[in-house]
Each structure stands twice: as structure tokens, then as C-alpha cells.
Structure 1
Amino acid sequence: MLTTQFLLTSLIVVVMPGTGVLYTLSNGMARGGRAGIAAALGCTLGILPHLLASALGLSAIMHVSATVFSVVKYGGSAYLLFLAWQMWKETGALAIGHESTESSLVKVALRGVALNILNPKLTIFFLAFLPQFITPGVLSATRQLVGLSAVFMLMTLVVFCLYALLAGGARKALSAMPRSIRWIQRSFAVVFAGLAVELAFTRR
């Protein structure tokens, strides 16, 4: 059931800095607002499999099976390290002031999708989060779950796009200082490497 409590809780969850927020900000600052919005779209779409898993009960299997959880966890950790390396490597070749090409925007979006798909904590989170707001006897649990999920994803997309636009604005302000952009990008690379290590040692 859509309630004020659900909306406020969801907003807090979405606004809190996480891998999706950091990925959106890093692309917005490095490549501009369009790339940031592409990252926001990709991260939002990457939530969908976790919501479907919660609806189908697959998240419960992941919660019970240490093997399944570990496979996704280490895959996500390795992918975060890959993104960290890409960010670090690309800092010296950024064309400040040039718009991203359509193909690069697609790549940014697809990386965002993969980033969230390979985050096992999202599936466990939705297993614990969404059922709290299901009201028995009003509608079927599945219909309520789908509706709440759609609202959560829409909220995620809007907030992430705002982050992207803010990052794009900051990029324009820093366009005269390419060295600053380079070190900001490298800072994001270090943060992603740290998140990869943290995820690798995460316990359910």
C-alpha cells in the first residue's frame, strides 16, 4: 500500500550515497549531464531484476544459499574493481567540454545496469524492505509489490537524474581546471575499489 511512510523511507534509501549514486555522479562530472542521466537510467534498470527476484521468491533462495550469494557477491566485487580501473585509466583521456557520443552513452547505461544486477545486497534489501508495506486483504500481494516497486524505481530515476544534472553543472564549473576533473575521477576510482573490497568481505 502506498503510504507516506513508504515514500519517505524510499526517498531516504534512494538519496543515500551508494554505488549507483557514485556511479551517476562520476559520469556526470567526467562526461557531462547526458552521461550522468544515462548512468542514472542504467542503474534504475539494474534494480528491476532484484525486484523481480523478490516478487518470485528468488531472493529467499539467495539468502539461504551461501553458494549463490557468494557467486553474485564476488562477481559484483570484481566488476566494481573493473569500473575502478576504467575510471583511473580514462582520467588522462577525458575531453573536457565535449559531449559524449551516443555509443558511449549506451555503454555508460549498460555498465550501470550490470553494476546493480551484480549487487546481491539489493536483492536481500528488497526481500526485507518491500514486504513491510504490503497490506493484507486490499489487493493481491503481487499487485501491491509491483506497484510499490514501480514507485521506488521512478523515485530512483528522478533522484539520480537530479544528481546527474548537479554533477554536470559542477563539471562545467570545473571545465577550466582539467587537473581537478582528473583527480576527482581518480578519487571516484579509489572509492569504487574500496567498495569492491567491502563487498567481497560482506556477510549476509
Structure 2
Amino acid sequence: MEATLVLQFAVTAALLTLVPGADWAYVISTGTRSRSVVPPVLGLASGYVVLVAAVAVGVGALVSSHPDVLTVVTLVGACYITYLGVSTLRNLRGADGTLLLTDEGSPADGNDGLRLYLRGMGVSGINPKAMLMLLVLLPQYLTPDGWSSTAQTGLLGSIFILEVVVIYFGVALFARSLLLGRPRLNTAVTGVSGVLLTGFGIWLLLDVLAF
């Protein structure tokens, strides 16, 4: 592979990762209300590992070329992201209906690290928009000579996943340092994250139901 193409891909992928979306909303909402930012960030990264592997072996292209399969994947992903958004909003209120203004870092619904990890994996791993983005982006930087397309995809995908880990850890830690100790701001930002997750999920539903 050409070093220039690898560098260009790294820059492009980093810029796309820096664009706020469902991933950002999830990592901020969980990073500020859980004891560790590691499980949600690694969950998101693991979801992208699945997508990169699917693209590398041709599963992603197979899914995108079959409208019915892609529709099912989109519906599942949309419902899941909407569920997470609604759950985030519901967890802002305690059993008595009062807002949970706490910076203790313990999740309101008792989620453990494994559950946060699996939820993060679901946010990125069954997001059809992320799959289509990788399907469009990765092939542009593959070269016909030298390494096989699978090896090239694996290398570029690994760079993207590393960037995801670094950037999302940065986002989570920055949000944590900014919001912990400021319970009202913490609750407000978590609420906005819940709205964004819900809105993104509903947008996906409307997008697929429009066809």
C-alpha cells in the first residue's frame, strides 16, 4: 500500500469520527454516569471491529446489495438506538419522579461494565449508516497491486478503530472532567444525549419506512 493513501485515510477517518453522532451521545451519557469510561468506549470500538471484518470478507457489500436484508438491519439498529435514547431519558428520573442530580458515577439503572460494553457494541455494530460509510470510504483507499484487498481493508480498519478508541476516550474523559461535580449540568447534558440518541433512532426508522 502507498503510505500517502494510508495517511490520507487516517486523516479522513479521524475527521469523520470527530463529527458528533449517536456514538458521541452514547459515550457522553454513559461516560459521565458510570464508574469507568472504558466499557462503553471499548464496546463502540468492538462494534466497528465487527463492521470492518464484515467489509473485509465481503459481508457488508452483500448486505448492502440486498435491500430486504439492509432494511431489516436498519430497523433493528434504529429500534435499538431509540431504546437506548429513551432509557437514558427515563434514567434521569428516580423512582419518585425527581431528577437524579448525582455525580457519584454509578449508573441509575445498575448497569455493570459488561452491559455498558455490549450496549456500546450495539450502537456502532448494528448501525447501518456506519456500515455504509465504511463500505464507501474503505474501497477508495485500496490499491490493485501488492497486498490483498482483505489485508488492506484490515490495515485501514485497524487505523480507524485505533482512532475511534483515542477520540472517544478523549471525549468521554473531557465530558467527565467537565461535568462531574456539576450535577445539574451533568443531568442536562445526559438529557441532551438521550434526546440525540432517540432522535437519531427515529430518523433511521423514518428513513427506512419511507421506502
Which aligned runs of 4 or more in structure 1 are off by greater than 3 angstroms? 99-103
User: Partner residue of 1:115?
Assistant: 123
Q: Tell me the residue number matched to 1:5.
A: 8
1: CA distance, partners of 2:135 / 2:54: 9
Aligned twin of 2:82: 81
1:117 Cα deviation from its structure 2 partner:
1.7
Task: Give unmatched runs, 5+ long, in structure 2.
Answer: 95-99
Q: Offset at 1:37?
A: 3.0
1:142 corresponds to which of 150, 155, 175: 150
Name the CA distance, whole Å, in 1 between partners of 2:172 and 2:185.
18
Q: Measure the CA separation in 1 of the matches of 2:48 and 2:34.
A: 23
Identical-residue share of aligned pairs (%): 26
Q: Judging changes above 3 Å, is the alpha-carbon distance between structure 1 residues 172 and 162 closer, same or farther for their aligned structure 2 residues?
A: same
**What is the correspondence of 1:151-170 to structure 2 with a 5 Å cutoff?**
151-170=159-178
Write the distance in 1 (CA, Å) between the matches of 2:16 and 2:65.
24
Question: In the TM superposition, what are the counterparts of 1:1-204 in structure 2 within 5 Å?
Answer: 1=1, 2=3, 3-31=6-34, 34=36, 36-93=37-94, 94=100, 96-100=102-106, 104-174=112-182, 178-202=183-207
Q: Structure 1: which 5+ runs fail to align?
A: none
For normalisation by structure 1, the TM-score amounts to: 0.88
Aligned-partner Cα distance in 1 for 2:204–2:84: 14
| Aligned-partner Cα distance in 1 for 2:128–2:67 | 11
Q: Quick check: 92-101 or 185-194, which moved more?
A: 92-101
CA shift at 1:184, angstroms? 2.4
Name the Cα RMSD after superposition: 2.1
